[in-house]
Amino acid sequence: MNRDAFARELGVLVGDGNVQGVPVTAGEPPAWQVAPGSAAEVAEVVRRCNRDGVAVLPVGSGARPTRWKAVAERPRVHVAMRRMDHVVHLDETSLLVHVQAGLTGAGLEKVLVPRGLSLGDYPATMLGSTIGGMIAVRTPGKSSARHGFLEDAVLGVSAVLADGRSIHTRVAPRRATGPDLARALCGSEGTIGVITSVVLRIHLKAEARLLAAYVLPSFDAALAAAYLALREECQPAGLRVYDSAEARAHLGDELALAGPALDDDAALLLVATAGPTDLAVCDRDLVTSAVEAEGGAATDPRLADAWWKLRGGDPRQVPPPSLQVTATPSKLRAVYRAVRDAARDAGATARAHVSRFDAGGAVVFVTLVADGKPLDGARLDAVRATCEQAAGDAGGWLLGARPAQMDPYLAALRAELDPNGILNPGALS
């Protein structure tokens, strides 16, 4: 392959200004980053790469360092989606939005919010990512008790296959026309196709939003109260359970103002409800009843306000969690206890909150500390490994888990659609 000629060809396809060489270490095959301006240009680039067996690696916002592996032996093209950040169609009648893959969640909200619309009650922390990236990579943080897993909001996907063909899964509320083909692309991490645009459900801005905070005698009681309310069909817009240590770390100032000191065993439950006013009130009252049934009581709502600000991206310093464990409802307590015990045995303290509740369970966010300071470096790695082991043994799912059983099937699917193996070759294998 003639490098210069190839680079020139890429320039013809996407415009010279949108092709850059990517520095590589000596002896490595060349790499470029291209920024196509349309789905058609993506298709051209992929088709061209396929001809020479050049690897194609989609890049979202590029905000996070991407760890490529197993691709260093072949030339590669990083396809950056940053120029593809348009809202293609906003269907306010059906509450759907068709967006290009490079638009970030925050960028989309900027279009939606002035119109009284919203992507939904998803955690603000995920909104910095591109829509394509959020859909292509499945991680557990993208869930809301009211709107479910973000992937479930996907009604249609457009993508470019390895041979340059474009597919557009047809948009309908539901269908019974074989498997949901969009789901082959969601979570595929760029191995089945390069996602170029997505049709997403959106929501009317809630008519009312209520926040409430409760103190419960124990972490178990707080989880029990949460599930009691959910079983009464309460649909909170946000729900979080803090153990006392994590509550102090996240909401220390407000706790100091709020009066009674939190017992070490106690837990904090925070809830946001939203929707038509009557329903938001109903949902909040369901939580209140559940809390009372579990021996807890409402406390200063300023705690809830502080939590909501924090969730919305309050710049105050909260260290990122040391580990995240997803667990089904019955496993949450066991996972929490196992991690805490494992950390204690390793000479550290684990503090935690549980959040991202949905039908499949919730996520336990754990921060490991010693002497009042979050662990870091080699110590963190060592303690974290122990805690992860304990969490897995207790039935939790660690970030990035992958059932090996389906590997041969995924490999066969990829071989069928991408015989040259150009699409993100290092991923999911």
Partner 1 sequence: MPRAHVDPDRLRRELESLLGARRVSMRDGDLDTYARDMWPRLLLARRDGQLPEHRPHAVVWPETQRELVALVKLARSLAIPVIPYGGGSGVCGGVVPLRGGITIDLKRMQAIRSVSRDEMVVDVEAGLSGERFERELRRRGYTFGNFPSSIYCSTVGGWLATRAAGQLSTKYGKVEDRVAGLTVITGRGELIETDGPSRAVRGPNWTQLLVGSEGTLGIIAAARLRLSTAPQLEIFRGFEFDDVAAGTEAIRRVLQRGLRPAVVRLYDELDTFINSLGKKAATGDHAGAPITTGYGAPHDLSAAPVPMPGEGALPVLPRPEPPADDGVVSRLLAIARGRRRGLHKEAVGLALDHAKLVNRIAGTVARRGCRMVIGLEGARIRTEVEAALTFAELAHAGGRDTGEEAGWAWLAHRYAVSYRMSPTFRDGAFVDTMEVASTWERLMDLYHSVRDAISQHAVVMAHFSHAYAEGCSIYFTFAAHADDLAGSRRLYDTIWRDGLEAVTRVGGTISHHHGVGLLKGPYMAGEHREGMAVLHGLKQSLDPDNLMNPGKLGMAAAPTGVPRKEAS
Residue 181 binds partner 1, judged by CB under 8 A: yes
Report CA-CA distances (Å) from 368 to 78, 317, 336, 378, 391. 36, 16, 13, 13, 14
Least Cβ distance, residue 92 to partner 1 (angstroms): 9
Residue 20 binds partner 1, judged by CB under 8 A: no
- Which segment (265-273, 305-313, 342-350, 413-421) binds partner 1 by CB under 8 A? 413-421
For the segment 327-366, give every residue that binds partner 1 (CB under 8 A): 327-330, 358-361
Least Cβ distance, residue 137 to partner 1 (angstroms): 8
Residue 90 binds partner 1, judged by CB under 8 A: no
Nearest to 268 by CA among 239, 238, 229: 239
The owner of tokens 């320039």 is 11
> What whole-number distance in Å separates Cα of residue 158 and Cα of residue 183?
12
Please select the residue that binds partner 1; options are 21, 276, 312, 347, rule is CB under 8 A: 276
Please select the residue that binds partner 1; options are 124, 128, 410, 426, rule is CB under 8 A: 410
Least Cβ distance, residue 423 to partner 1 (angstroms): 12
**By three-state DSSP, how is residue 33 classified?**
strand
> What whole-number distance in Å separates Cα of residue 295 and Cα of residue 402?
39
Q: Which two tokens stand for residue 85?
A: 């950040």
Output 135 or 348, the one with its CB closest to partner 1.
135
> What whole-number distance in Å separates Cα of residue 88 and Cα of residue 116?
18
For the segment 154-173, give every residue that binds partner 1 (CB under 8 A): 155, 161, 165-173
Residue 231 binds partner 1, judged by CB under 8 A: yes
For the segment 135-154, give every residue that binds partner 1 (CB under 8 A): 137-140, 142-143, 149, 151
Alpha-carbon Rg for the chain, nearest whole angstrom, is: 23
> What whole-number distance in Å separates Cα of residue 102 and Cα of residue 87?
10
Q: Which two tokens stand for residue 266?
A: 């106690």
Q: Which two tokens stand for residue 115?
A: 């119109």
The beta strands (E) that lie in 224-311 are given as: 238-243, 267-275, 297-299
Question: 10 Å Cβ neighbour count for 65?
Answer: 5
Q: Is 386 within 8 Å of 16 (Cβ atoms)? A: no
Least Cβ distance, residue 68 to partner 1 (angstroms): 16
- Which segment (188-196, 246-254, 347-355, 381-389) binds partner 1 by CB under 8 A? 188-196
> What whole-number distance in Å separates Cα of residue 301 and Cα of residue 295?
18
- Which segment (123-131, 301-309, 314-322, 406-414) binds partner 1 by CB under 8 A? 406-414
> What whole-number distance in Å separates Cα of residue 35 and Cα of residue 62?
12
Q: Is 210 within 8 Å of 171 (Cβ atoms)? A: no
Output 3 or 205, the one with its CB closest to partner 1.
205
Q: How far apart are the first and last CA of the chain?
A: 27
Residue 1 binds partner 1, judged by CB under 8 A: no
Please select the residue that binds partner 1; options are 16, 63, 64, 91, rule is CB under 8 A: 91
Least Cβ distance, residue 229 to partner 1 (angstroms): 10
Please select the residue that binds partner 1; options are 61, 100, 144, 188, rule is CB under 8 A: 188
Residue 428 binds partner 1, judged by CB under 8 A: yes
Residue 403 binds partner 1, judged by CB under 8 A: yes
Residue 220 binds partner 1, judged by CB under 8 A: no
Output 36 or 275, the one with its CB closest to partner 1.
275
Output 170 or 316, the one with its CB closest to partner 1.
170
Output 178 or 372, the one with its CB closest to partner 1.
178
Least Cβ distance, residue 166 to partner 1 (angstroms): 6
For the segment 292-331, give every residue that binds partner 1 (CB under 8 A): 326-330
The backbone torsions φ and ψ at residue 217, rounded to the nearest 5 degrees and listed phi first, read -65, -20
Q: Which two tokens stand for residue 203?
A: 């929501």
Output 9 or 151, the one with its CB closest to partner 1.
151
Report CA-CA distances (Å) from 426 to 25, 58, 61, 74. 18, 12, 20, 11
Output 33 or 424, the one with its CB closest to partner 1.
424
